[in-house]
């Protein structure tokens, strides 16, 4: 059992960024017309690009942190549920927003999160087609980098510290394009919404972290690898994310197939709805 502290995670963040960059390049190297598609048992799509990116990430994490378990979406879909033993582990979504990728949109991302004590303490998210990478470590702040994939994080064309903004009187709300349920709609009806936009993938967490959006609710179940990296980046930037009932989100739920009941994420924690 190996536990990685935030201080240790900070020393890993450049290497994690480089792995994410290489995975992004693996996706970009596959023309959409040649990205073989199939439907998984849960009826979600998977492509050759998802699998190519995951292979790059698994190899990279194995070299970087041998012995630290990796929970990766496509591996879990094939029945591989690693024993976490209470230590630190990585959560990986090699291509978050596969539907956006198939549709030719630029919103899809590559996500890597490091979990310790059931909490995301470090996260890296790249949007390959946008040439952007966001990363954050607990107590270490958050950055946005502009990269031409693949590129080393140290050679970023632009590296900018980012942070959340105070909640305005009228909130800008990000919602999922594919998973907007009635409960989430009802919650938004109680909020002072000034603007609302739909977007695929975990890039919405990055919008909160950089202060271009205010709140992102999803009150339907989702997988841990979809949100862990985003929550790490958001909290490092000063934001917060809670369970639908306002409680703490815990990661590493192997007995639940690594699923959580939903979440509410906010740039300014003061804008989170009161606990029910």
Residues 232/209, Cβ–Cβ less than 8 Å = no
Give the per-residue pLDDT at 158. Answer: 85
Q: Give the gyration radius of the chain's Cα atoms.
A: 17
Q: Give tens-digit pLDDT for 191-228.
A: 999 999 999 899 999 999 999 999 999 999 999 999 99
pLDDT at 168: 96
What span, in angstroms and rounded, lies between the C-alpha atoms of 171 and 178? 21
Residue 275 confidence (pLDDT): 57
Q: What's the confidence (pLDDT) of residue 32?
A: 81
Look up residue 246 and give its two tokens.
């306002």
Residue 21: in which H helix or E strand, if any? helix 6-28
Q: What is the model's pLDDT at position 270?
A: 94
Which pLDDT score, from 0 to 100, does residue 251 have?
97
pLDDT given at position 157: 84
- The residues, ordered by sequence, that sit 6+ positions from 182 with a Cβ below 8 Å of its Cβ are none
Query: Residue 38 has what pLDDT?
Result: 84
Kindly tell me the sign of the dihedral angle through the C-alpha atoms of 63, 68, 73, 75: positive
Question: Distance from CA of residue 234 to its chain's centroid?
Answer: 10
Question: What domains does the chain contain, in order, with CATH numbers?
Answer: 6-162 (3.30.540.10), 171-271 (3.40.190.80)
Whether omega before 178 lies within 30 degrees of 0, making that bond cis, reads no
pLDDT of residue 241: 98
The pLDDT value recorded for residue 178 is 75
Which pLDDT does position 177 carry in this prediction?
80
Residue 43 backbone class (left: φ over 0; alpha: ψ -120 to 50; beta: rest):
left
CA distances from 183 to 70, 187, 201, 255, 263 (A): 32, 6, 20, 25, 12
Q: What is the pLDDT of residue 129?
A: 96
Residues of the chain predicted below pLDDT 70: 1, 275-276
Three-state secondary structure along 166-186? CCCCCEEEEEECCCCCHHHHH
Strand 89-96 versus strand 70-72 pairing type: parallel
pTM of the model: 0.96
Pairing type for strands 171-176 and 193-199 reads: parallel
Pairing of strands 158-162, 193-199: unpaired
């Amino acid at each position: 059992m190996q536990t990685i502290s935030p201080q240790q995670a900070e020393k890993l963040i450049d290497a994690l960024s480089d792995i994410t960059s290489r995975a992004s390049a693996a996706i970009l190297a596959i023309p959409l017309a040649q990205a073989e598609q199939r439907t998984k048992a849960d009826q979600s799509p998977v492509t050759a690009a998802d699998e190519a990116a995951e292979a790059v990430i698994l190899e990279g994490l194995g070299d970087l942190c041998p012995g630290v378990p990796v929970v990766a979406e496509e591996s879990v879909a094939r029945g591989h549920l690693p024993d976490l033993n209470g230590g630190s582990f990585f959560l990986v979504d090699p291509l978050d927003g596969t539907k956006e990728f198939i549709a030719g949109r630029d919103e899809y991302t590559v996500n890597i999160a490091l979990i310790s004590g059931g909490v995301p303490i470090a996260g890296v998210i790249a949007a390959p087609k946008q040439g952007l990478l966001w990363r954050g470590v607990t107590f270490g702040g958050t950055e946005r980098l502009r990269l031409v994939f693949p590129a080393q994080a140290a050679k970023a064309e632009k590296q900018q510290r980012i942070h959340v903004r105070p909640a305005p009187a009228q909130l800008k709300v990000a919602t999922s394009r594919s998973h907007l349920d009635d409960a989430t709609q009802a919650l938004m009806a109680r909020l002072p919404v000034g603007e609302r936009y739909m977007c695929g993938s975990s890039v919405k967490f990055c919008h909160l972290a950089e202060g271009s959006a205010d709140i992102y609710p999803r009150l339907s179940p989702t997988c841990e690898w979809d949100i862990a990296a985003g929550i790490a980046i958001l909290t490092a930037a000063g934001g917060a994310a809670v369970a639908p009932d306002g409680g703490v989100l815990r990661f590493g739920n192997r007995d639940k197939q690594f699923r959580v009941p939903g979440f509410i994420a906010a740039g300014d924690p003061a804008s989170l709805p009161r606990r029910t």
